[in-house]
Structure 1
Amino acid sequence: MTGSRTNLAWDVLLDLSGPGPRHERLTRALRTVIREGTLGSGAALPPSRTLAADLGCSRWVITQAYEQLIAEGYLAARTGSGTVVRWSASSAEPAKPAVRKVSPPEIDLAPGLPDLRHFPRTRWAEAVREVLVNAPHGEFGYPVPGGHPRLRAVLADHLRRCRGAVVDDVRIASGVTDAFGRLCRALLAAGITRVAAEDPGWHTLRRVATRAGLDVVGVPVDEDGLRVDEIPPGVRAVLVTPAHQFPTGTVLSPARRAGLLAWAREADGLIIEDDYDAEFRYDRRPVGTVQGMDPARVALLGSVSKTLSPALGLGWYTVPPQWTDRVEPSPTPPALDQLAFAAFLERGSYDRHLRAARRRYRARRDALVDALGPARLSGVAAGLHLVLELPGGSAAAVVERAAAKGLRVADLGDYRVAPGEPGLVLGYGNLADGSVGTAARLLREAIAR
């Protein structure tokens, strides 16, 4: 439906049932009616005051839902015409860096780890004990290909509820690297030999694609995320981290989201969405997945490596229907670990852990930013890392001097395909709160020299 829909019976049209605060339930309900086509591209939504009166809630509930869906690309705010629907179904590797031989650092600011000190040991142990006590004897056999049905069902519900994904079938893997490797092999078997990847980006996944036999093409990233207009002709697959790009810390803008989906339709391509540390956003609620906007064109990958621990070896992926039979399931994590995670989700322990982690990481990030003083930092307030720019300096020299002081930091250049401005990637996820000041002081000394 196009044109104005402000006269609809909104209290009947929108299903606000389900868990969560009212503004989150309204966001889900609006997202659903847009996806289903009840509200087509160009349809006008009522003013926040009008909709609040219809639904019997505060204007704050309405504005929060509108802002979230504008950020995700479903809505657009236009001067003079209010809020309208934007989305429609029809529009919808370099050599491995050398390892520096230094003594184990006293303080580790390298990215890639969550806070291992706060792994929820007690609640995880309770989930494991529940499985050991109550699981039928048959669960102690070989794992089911594709993952245990109980975890797949619980995880699909979590992704729909918390990440705005459209998930009918989710498969279990040992992590994002494992899932991406399977997709790369499926791409090659389908005759797709080139994959585009963000530059800079996570070099491990670029190496996975290369080992699978694919050519990796770097595509620049700017303050709005991936430069969709620079994806080379003939490329039919692209790897992106839209919720929080690694390592620059940008978020794929609504316009770029729309452009990326348009590219996928025009090129008959596949978008591979790595939902990298998307759960951690501190200035607003996390934006939903691109996969939810067009599940026929987007594969979604995720894991608990950045939320719980990489030691668990638990990840997942969901692919468009036309790719389901092409991606071959391989051995999955132990069935008991899968069942423990399912119980952890069902108990609400995972949601509680994420809420506590967000508060902890936000405070730690703020403390690190304050301690670094006037340093040039980039990236939105999200995730487990930030980028410190070194205009005119040598990142490699700073990394070496910091290591001599017992401080480990990462060179931004290690994640690039093409040369770029020097900088450091600072991970604060596993940084002890008491070490923030010391880490900042040692880093400032290494830079000053």
Structure 2
Amino acid sequence: MGDSWATLGVDLHLETGGGGARTGVRRGLTDALRAAVRGGRLAPGTRLPSSRSLAVDLGIARNTVADAYADLVAEGWLTARQGSGTRVAERVSPADAKPGGRGSAVVTPVRTAPVRRRAGAPTHDLKPGSPDLSSFPRAEWLKAARRAVAAAPNDAFGYAGPRGRVELREALAGYLARARGVYAEPDRIVITAGFVQALSLLGRVLRRRGLRDMTVESYGLDIHWDLLHREGLRTAPLDFDELGTVTEGLGRGVGGGGGARGASKAVLLTPAHQFPMGVPLHPDRRAAAVDWARREGGLILEDDYDGEFRYDRQPVGALQGLDPERVVYLGTASKSLAPSLRLGWMVVPSGLIDDVLGEKDAAHWSCGALDQLTLAEFLTSGAYDRHVRGARLRYRRRRDQLVEALAARAPEVRATGIAAGLHAVLELPPGTEQSVVQAANWERLAVQGLTRFRHPLAKTPRQDALVVGYGTPAEHGWAGALDALCRVLP
């Protein structure tokens, strides 16, 4: 029998390859179902069509299907319970089976075994870079979406321009001026699909303008450095000390000189809350960076990735407010709401806006208009401020619990960079970072060492530490993650 489809709420594709006799059809169906389960195409717990439904769709006798199901129940591949139907049995996965024969895996079906976790899969996640996704304001977001769609003009459902929806740009202009001290006219705001798209756009524009080198911080994200490299820009790291990024190195390219070949006219900074070290850029160095940009015709790319979250200090305003013509301000909803929204924004100097829009339009990069309209409504209705204030309280409580747990259970470990943000740097005894990360892997705790964030060309002395994202776990998983962390610390 050739390929057929059976449906009862879901589609089931089987290659039975049966013969003409009843026993041949039964064997073909049994083999096809067994192969689908063994290969993982039918996952544990999947409900199969009723014998009547599958028989009709395959054009065979109902008893043939019932007999095939009974054979696989007896072998342990399926389970059958009154009221629950026939389902794929829970079993040991091939990844967990012991090798046998010619190096191949021997998979023994087990009728009552629970689903086993894939080897190495983390139970707890403390990697930085993500908020608590379980706290996304679903009900308020749905209300905002309904209001936004009801009020949307007809052109909102057409093809989008490179700037993004005017409703969101106007809402952001007011919010960023009020909350972050950003000088933002709506026509100078460009909506992007997150920070990475914004950085890619800027990298392309700068490369077209003849830039070869980009100055970056000693600590940061390799995905950002790699992206700049793909756009044809080399990255040269600045030094770092207790006052933050050392701005005296601005202007030196990869070659280290100040001439045409070794000069950099652009720098990527996280001045409000250096990632991942967590310190704000010292006021004198903020002023020095802006002075350099004015004097040398340079450009500062300001990544304000988590500016809304601060606890023990006054908010550090955006650097862009000091000189909107020399600073590109970049923000995102990934930390305050959720990365999956893919919504970010740039506030672009007037001398750069046409190039950015032209590059974005040529690349056909646009963002979903409905999500933009929803975020605009979320901002103007005050729901965004309420959500951020609530999240700030929750994250501060976690931060305090982390500090208290370290004092009680790991007194040799000190948490730094914790006045703001969603992560902390835990300073470890010299030479212990790798062993602690390995111990965390054994505990199925996902953490990252500070070395992971150090630029390959950085001259800053190496430091043993963990970068712990205390904002990442869901609320119900935070206590367990914190306990697992304390168990692996020296």
After the TM superposition, which residues 362-373 of structure 1 pair with which residues of structure 2 at under 5 Å, given as runs? 362-373=396-407
1:258-273 equivalences under 5 Å are 258-273=287-302
Match of 2:7 in 1: none
Cα offset for 1:444? 3.4
* Aligned counterparts, 1:2-17, within 5 A: none
Q: Given the alignment, which residue of 375, 398, 420 partners 1:382?
A: 420
Cα deviations by residue, 1:75-101 (Å, 9 ceiling, x for unpaired): xxxxxxxxxxxxxxxxxxxxxxxxxx9
Helix, strand or coil for the counterpart of 1:199? Answer: coil
- 1:408 aligned to which of 411, 424, 446: 446
Change (3 A) 1:117 1:436: closer
| Residue equivalent to 1:160 | 177
* Aligned residues of 2:135 and 2:474 also touching (Cα < 8 A): no
Structure with greater Cα Rg: 2
Per-residue CA deviations over 1:260-296 (Å, capped at 9, x if unaligned) read: 1111122211000000201101013311100001111
* RMSD, aligned CA: 1.6
Distance 1:329 1:351 in 2: 30
Q: Secondary structure at the match of 2:354?
A: coil
- Tell me the SS of whatever aligns to 1:284: coil
Give 1:446 deviation, angstroms: 2.2
What's the offset of the Cα at 1:437?
4.5
Q: 1:334 aligns with which of 364, 368, 374?
A: 368
Q: CA deviation at 1:239?
A: 0.3
Asked if 1 retains the 8 angstrom alpha-carbon contact of 2:134 and 2:475, the reply is no
The aligned counterpart of 1:304 is: 333
Per mean C-alpha deviation after superposition, the further-off stretch among 129-138 and 231-240 is 129-138
Distance in 1, matches of 2:323 and 2:189, equals 16
- Decide whether the 8 Å contact of 1:108 with 1:408 is kept in 2: yes
**Equivalence map 1:407-426=2 (5 Å):** 407-417=445-455, 418=458, 420-426=462-468
Do 2:218 and 2:237's aligned partners in 1 also have CA atoms closer than 8 Å?
A: yes
**SS of residue in 2 equivalent to 1:302:** strand
Range with greater deviation from structure 2 (199-208 or 294-303): 199-208
Match of 1:113 among 130, 134, 137: 130
Select 1:318's aligned residue among 340, 343, 347: 347
Query: Alignment identity in percent?
Result: 45
Q: Distance in 1 between matches of 2:127 and 2:284?
A: 32
What amino acid does structure 1 have at the position aligned with 2:396? R
Q: Which residue, out of 199, 204, 210, partners 2:218?
A: 199
Gaps of 5+ in 1: 1-100
Shift of 1:133: 2.4
TM-score by length of 2: 0.69
**In the aligned structure 2, how far is the partner of 1:276 from the partner of 1:412?**
19
Are 2:270 and 1:241 aligned?
Answer: yes
| Aligned 8 A contact 1:301 1:317 in 2 | yes
User: What per-residue deviation string (whole Å, max 9, x for no partner) do you get for residues 204-250 of structure 1?
Assistant: 21111111010000112222221001232311100000111100000
Indicate if the aligned counterparts of 1:364 and 1:433 stay in contact, CA closer than 8 A: no
Mapped contact 1:160–1:167 kept (Cα < 8 A): yes
User: Partner amino acid for 2:389?
Assistant: R
Mapped partners of 1:353, 1:433: distance in 2: 15
CA contact (8 A) 1:372 1:440 kept: no
- TM-score scaled to structure 1, two decimals? 0.75
State whether residues 371 and 436 of structure 1, in contact with CA within 8 Å, keep that contact through their aligned partners in structure 2. Answer: no
Tell me what 1:98 maps to. none
Give the structure 2 partner of residue 189 of structure 1: 208
The aligned counterpart of 2:248 is 229
| Structure 1 counterpart of 2:481, from 415, 439, 443 | 439
| Contact 1:295 1:320 (C-alpha < 8 Å) held by counterparts | yes
Contact 1:367–1:436 at 8 Å: present in 2 too? no
Number of equivalences: 348
Instruction: Find the aligned partners of 1:301 and 1:189 in 2 and give their Cα distance.
Output: 20
Query: Contact 2:405–2:486 (CA<8 Å) still a contact in 1?
Result: no
Q: CA offsets per residue over residues 8-47 of structure 1, 9 Å max, x none?
A: xxxxxxxxxxxxxxxxxxxxxxxxxxxxxxxxxxxxxxxx
2:132 and 2:475 in contact (8 A); partners too? no
Aligned residue number for residue 193 of structure 2 = 174
Q: Distance in 1 between matches of 2:418 and 2:402?
A: 14
Give the structure 1 partner of residue 71 of structure 2. none
Give 1:394 deviation, angstroms.
3.2
Cross-structure match for 1:346? 380
Q: Which amino acid aligns with 1:262?
A: D
Contact 1:107–1:407 (Cα < 8 Å) also in 2: yes
Distance (whole Å) between structure 2 residues aligned to residue 341 and residue 440 of structure 1: 33
Q: Deviations over 1:301-322 (max 9, x none)?
A: 0100000000100000011111
Amino acid at match of 2:443: K
Shift of 1:391: 3.0
Rate the CA distance shift 1:209–1:409 in 2: closer, same or farther, 3 A.
Answer: same
2:434 is aligned with 1:396: yes
